[in-house]
C-alpha cells in the first residue's frame, strides 16, 4: 500500500449502526429512501446483513432476511455488501454442522452477499475453516477476523500469528474487530503496522466509540497503513456505535489518506436517519449515545453495562453492580481469557452474576461449563485447573480437544424434512434460517401465509427492554428455581 493512498470507509449504518444504538430494529422500509444514496457514495462496502439483523428480522420485524438482502442488493448494486458471520455458529450461539454452515454461506452468496466478515468468539481458527472455505467456493470475499481484547495472552505476537494463520487459510483480508471499543490509538497503530508488515492481504479496523477512543484509534490506524475502517451515520453513530463518517473525514483533514465522500449526499442520508431514529425511540437510549471511558477500567463492553444495571435491579441486587463488574475479569481469567463478544459476553456476564449472587463457582451455568470443557473451541489461555475439574465432574465428561463441529452429524436432511412437515417450502434458504431460529421462522411463515406484511416500523415491546443490541433471555435453573437473565449481543 502506498502511504498516500486514501483509506477506504465501509459504512455500517444498515447493520452495526442500528444494532449498537437501536436494538437492531431498523426495518427494510426505513432503509429504502437512502439505499441509493449510500450506494452512490462509493464506500468500500455497505454492511447490510448478519450480526443480529437476521434474528431481528424473523423475531421482531416479520421480515424474511433473504428478502431484505434481495431488496438492498437491488437498490445498491454498485457497492459490495458485507455481512458479519459468527463462524461455525452462523448467527446463533452454538456450533452448527458443517453442511448447514456450507448451505447458509452458499445461499447468502447466491442472494448477493459479497464480503463475509467471519469471526469466532474464542479466536479459535478451527471454527472459521468451514465458513471461509464455503465463501471462497462461492467466489466471494472471506474476511478473517481477529476479535480484539486485552489480556496477558492477547499479545501483539499472538494477534500477528493469528492474522498469518487466517491468511494461510485463504482469507482475502483480515479485520481487527474491536467490538467493545477497547483499542487505544497506540495499540491500533502498532497492531496495524505489524499486520501490514507481516501479511500480504488488506487489513481492516472495526471499532466502537463506547469509550471515546475509536475515532482516534482509526486515525492512528490510517497512519499505520490500515486499508479500511468502518464508519456509520449520525444518529446511528458514535456512542456504542461506530464513529460517524463526517467526523472521520474531519479527523483526517490535511492527512494524505483522507478519502472523499460527497458531503451533500451524506447530509441527505443523515437527515433521513434522524427521522428514523425518532421513529425508533422505543429502542434508543441515552446510555448508548454517550461515550464513557469507565468501561476501560473493567474492560467490559458498554452494552453489557447498561443491561447489568437493569438486570441487577430486577433481581434486587442493584447494590451489587460494582461487585459484578469486578467479577467479570475473574471469570474471564478462569475461562482462559476469552474475549467478550457474542456469545462469550453473555456467558461471562451471566457467570459473574451467579458468582456474586451465590458465591464464586458455587453455581455454574451450563454454557460456562461448556466453555471450560472446550465445547465452544480452544480458549486463548488455560482454563483454571480447579474450575475445569469441577466442570468435568458436573458434566460427567472430560474436556474435548477436537473442533466442536466434528462431533456433530450432518444436519440438512433432517432439517429439510422438519421444515417440510411444518408446511414450509424446504429451500436451502428456509432450511438454514429454520436451523437457527426454528420457532420464529415457523411463526414468520405462518404470518406470511396469513398475508401479514413486514412491519414498516418495529412494534414497541410490551415492556421496555434493556437497551443496546438485541437482548436475549437465558433461562437458568438454580436450586430448582428458574432465573431469567437478559444479555446483550455484542458484535
Q: How far is CA 242 from CA 13, 178, 280, in A?
A: 9, 10, 18
Q: Which residue pairs from 357-361 have beta carbons closer than 8 angstroms and sit at least 24 positions apart in sequence?
A: 357/315, 357/317, 357/320, 358/478, 360/327, 360/330, 361/334, 361/387, 361/390
Nearer to Co ion, 179 or 387 (CB): 179
Tell me whether residue 245 or residue 365 sits nearer to Co ion (CB atom).
245
Between 16 and 124, CB nearer to Co ion:
16
Q: Residue 142 is placed in which grid cell?
A: 472471506
Output the smallest distance, CB 90 to Co ion, in A. 17
Rounded CA separation 311/233 (Å): 30
Nearest distance from residue 50's CB to Co ion, in Å? 11
Residue nearest Co ion, CB atom distance? 16
CB atoms closer than 10 angstroms to residue 200: 7
**Alpha-carbon distance 156 to 140, whole Å?**
29
Min dist. Cβ of residue 241 to Co ion (A)? 8
Q: Alpha-carbon distance 477 to 235, whole Å?
A: 40
User: What is the enclosing helix (H) or strand (E) of 478?
Assistant: strand 471-478
Pair 375, 367: CB distance under 8 Å? no
Q: How far is the CB of 218 from Co ion (least distance, A)?
A: 13
Our measurement of the distance from residue 399's CA atom to the centroid of its chain's CA atoms, rounded to an integer in Å, reads 27
SS3 84: strand
Where does 23-97 have alpha helices with state H? 28-40, 53-56, 65-75
- 126/470 with CB nearer Co ion: 470
Tell me whether residue 117 or residue 126 sits nearer to Co ion (CB atom). 117
| Size of the chain in residues | 491
Based on CB atoms, which residue is closest to Co ion, 51 or 185?
A: 51
Give least dist CB 395 to Co ion, A: 32
CB of 298 to Co ion, least distance (A): 19
What are φ and ψ of residue 485, in 5° steps?
-120, 125
Residue whose CB is less far from Co ion, 213 or 355: 213
**Minimum CB separation from Co ion for residue 20, in Å?**
7
Which residues contribute to the site for Co ion (CB under 5 A)? 16, 179, 491
Q: Minimum distance between the CB of residue 84 and Co ion, rounded to whole angstroms?
A: 7
How many Cβ atoms sit within 10 Å of the Cβ of residue 27?
A: 23
Question: Containing H/E element for 49?
Answer: strand 45-50
CB of 247 to Co ion, least distance (A): 17
**Do residues 416 and 431 touch, judged by C-beta distance below 8 A?**
yes
- Name the H helices within 120-173: 129-137, 156-168
Q: Which is nearer to Co ion, 16 or 63 (CB)?
A: 16
| Closer residue to Co ion (CB): 16 or 102 | 16
212 or 381: CB nearest Co ion: 212
Q: How far is the CB of 113 from Co ion (least distance, A)?
A: 17
What is the Cα–Cα distance from 430 to 427, expressed in whole angstroms? Answer: 5
Amino acid at each position: 500500500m502506498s502511504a498516500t493512498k486514501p483509506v477506504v470507509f465501509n459504512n455500517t449504518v444498515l447493520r452495526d449502526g442500528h444494532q449498537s444504538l437501536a436494538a437492531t430494529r431498523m426495518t427494510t422500509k426505513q432503509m429504502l429512501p437512502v439505499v441509493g444514496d449510500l450506494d452512490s457514495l462509493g464506500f468500500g462496502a455497505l454492511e447490510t446483513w448478519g450480526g443480529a439483523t437476521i434474528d431481528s428480522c424473523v423475531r421482531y420485524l416479520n421480515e424474511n432476511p433473504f428478502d431484505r438482502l434481495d431488496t438492498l442488493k437491488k437498490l445498491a448494486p454498485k457497492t459490495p455488501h458485507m455481512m458479519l458471520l459468527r463462524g461455525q455458529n452462523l448467527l446463533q450461539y452454538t456450533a452448527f454442522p458443517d453442511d448447514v454452515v456450507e448451505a447458509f454461506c452458499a445461499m447468502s452468496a447466491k442472494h448477493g452477499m459479497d464480503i463475509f466478515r467471519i469471526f469466532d468468539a474464542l479466536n479459535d481458527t478451527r471454527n472459521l475453516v468451514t465458513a471461509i472455505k464455503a465463501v471462497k467456493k462461492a467466489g466471494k470475499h472471506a474476511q478473517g477476523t481477529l476479535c480484539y481484547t486485552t489480556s496477558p495472552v492477547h499479545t501483539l505476537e499472538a494477534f500477528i500469528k493469528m492474522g498469518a494463520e487466517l491468511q494461510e487459510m485463504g482469507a482475502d483480508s483480515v479485520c481487527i474487530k474491536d467490538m467493545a471499543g477497547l483499542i487505544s490509538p497506540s495499540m491500533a497503530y502498532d497492531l496495524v503496522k505489524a499486520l501490514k508488515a507481516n501479511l500480504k492481504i488488506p487489513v481492516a479496523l472495526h471499532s466502537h466509540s463506547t469509550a471515546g477512543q475509536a475515532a482516534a484509534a482509526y486515525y492512528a490506524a490510517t497512519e499505520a497503513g490500515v486499508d479500511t475502517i468502518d464508519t456509520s451515520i449520525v444518529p446511528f453513530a458514535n456512542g456504542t456505535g461506530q464513529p460517524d463518517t463526517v467526523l472521520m473525514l474531519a479527523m483526517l483533514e490535511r492527512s494524505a489518506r483522507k478519502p472523499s465522500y460527497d458531503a451533500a449526499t451524506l447530509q441527505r442520508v443523515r437527515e433521513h436517519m434522524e427521522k428514523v431514529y425518532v421513529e425508533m425511540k422505543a429502542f434508543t437510549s441515552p446510555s448508548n449515545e454517550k461515550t464513557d471511558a469507565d468501561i476501560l477500567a473493567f474492560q467490559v463492553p458498554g452494552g453489557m453495562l447498561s443491561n447489568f444495571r437493569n438486570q441487577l435491579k430486577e433481581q434486587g441486587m442493584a447494590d451489587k453492580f460494582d461487585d459484578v463488574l469486578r467479577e467479570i475479569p475473574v471469570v474471564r481469567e478462569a475461562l482462559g481469557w476469552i474475549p467478550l463478544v457474542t456469545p462469550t459476553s453473555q456467558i461471562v456476564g451471566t457467570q459473574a452474576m451467579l458468582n456474586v449472587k451465590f458465591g464464586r463457582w458455587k453455581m455454574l451455568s451450563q454454557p460456562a461449563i461448556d466453555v471450560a470443557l472446550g465445547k465452544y473451541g480452544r480458549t486463548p489461555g488455560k482454563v483454571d485447573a480447579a474450575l475445569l475439574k469441577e466442570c468435568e465432574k458436573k458434566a460427567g465428561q472430560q474436556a474435548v480437544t477436537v473442533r466442536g463441529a466434528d462431533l456433530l452429524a450432518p444436519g440438512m436432511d433432517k432439517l429439510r424434512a422438519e421444515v417440510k412437515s411444518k408446511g414450509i417450502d424446504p429451500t436451502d434458504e428456509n432450511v438454514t434460517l429454520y436451523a437457527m431460529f426454528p420457532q420464529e421462522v415457523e411463526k414468520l411463515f405462518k404470518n406470511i401465509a396469513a398475508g401479514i406484511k413486514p412491519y414498516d416500523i418495529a412494534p414497541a415491546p410490551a415492556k421496555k427492554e434493556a437497551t443496546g443490541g438485541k437482548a436475549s433471555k437465558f433461562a437458568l435453573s438454580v436450586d430448582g428455581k428458574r432465573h431469567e437473565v437478559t444479555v446483550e449481543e455484542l458484535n
